[in-house]
Amino acid sequence: MSGYWTDILAVGFFILEWTVYAVTLEHSAYGRDSLSARMHIYREVWIRRMLDREARMVDMQIMASLQNGTAFFASTSLLAVGGGLALLRSTSEALGVLAALPIDLSPSPALWELKCVGLILIFIYAFFKFAWAYRLFNYVAILMGSMPPATKRDTPEAEQHVIRTTRLFEAAGRHFNRGQRGFFFALGYLGWFVSPWVLFATTAAVVIVTWRRQFVSSAWRAMGEI
């Protein structure tokens, strides 16, 4: 059992980093200045400006592109789950390939299968997030279709509709972001198939890369410029 302590610590570090990053991004004052948070503002701007337009075909076309992108990621998640199941069923072949390498990287069959199950669970999580985001985008499209006409944009009904649509839009974007985050951390999780020490490094690399994109990237600076 003592030989597995490094693996346990590496997986614990992976889970802790994912949790801390997600909580910081979505539930802290620091995360309110992220690229995703800045984009939330423009969702409301979009809905309010759409209320001023009578012709809204372009808005629905944009929504369709968002739905198609989400559907693509959802289907990709299912393919990844299938790949993980195939890897789980090929334990003997995979361990045989690892044993033939100059460096001994072959774990026990039970540990290999545990790694595969963990990877499958990550992609299942991502699928549920993308599938729910796709459903929410459908709801947003329905709300856009029931938007009051421009002649009633100053009524309390129109204001309530804008707020309701914006909140649902933000929820859809939030779940989509969580699905993508699952994809990013799945790439870091692959390091465990090499070594628990590699998992430490790949997890840290994923956190650094995703943090940079949210807080110091050129896109983040562009959204903050006036």
- Concatenated DSSP letters of 83-146: HHHHHHHTHHHHHHHHHTSSS-----HHHHHHHHHHHHHHHHHHHHHHHHHHHHHHHHHHHHHT
Instruction: Please identify which residue in the block is written with the tokens 């943090």.
Output: 211
pLDDT at 175: 96
Rounded CA-CA distance 37/107 in Å is 42
pLDDT of 18 > 60? The answer is: yes
pLDDT tens digits, 180-223: 999 999 999 999 988 899 999 999 999 999 999 999 999 998 88
Q: What is the per-residue pLDDT across 71-121, written as a single tens digit (0 to 9) for each?
A: 999 999 999 999 999 888 877 776 666 666 666 666 677 888 889 999 999
Can you give the residue ranges of every domain in the chain? 2-224
**pLDDT for 226 beyond 60:** no
Distance, in Å, from the CA atom of 181 to the CA atom of 211, rounded to the nearest integer, reads 11
Give the DSSP per-residue string, 54-89: S--HHHHHHHHHHHHHHHHHHHHHHHHHHHHHHHHH
10 alpha carbon, distance to own chain's centre: 22
Percent of the chain with pLDDT over 90: 55
| Weakest mean pLDDT among 88-92, 154-158, 222-226 | 222-226
Q: Which of 1-5, 153-157, 221-225 has the highest mean pLDDT?
A: 153-157
The answer to whether residues 47 and 166 touch, using CB atoms and an 8 Å cutoff, is yes
Cα(192)–Cα(184) distance, rounded to whole angstroms? 14
Q: What is the pTM assigned to this prediction?
A: 0.89
Q: Which amino acid is at 144?
A: M
**Amino acid 101: pLDDT:** 60
- Choice between 129 and 5, residue whose per-residue pLDDT is larger: 129
Q: What is the mean pLDDT of residues 167-189?
A: 95
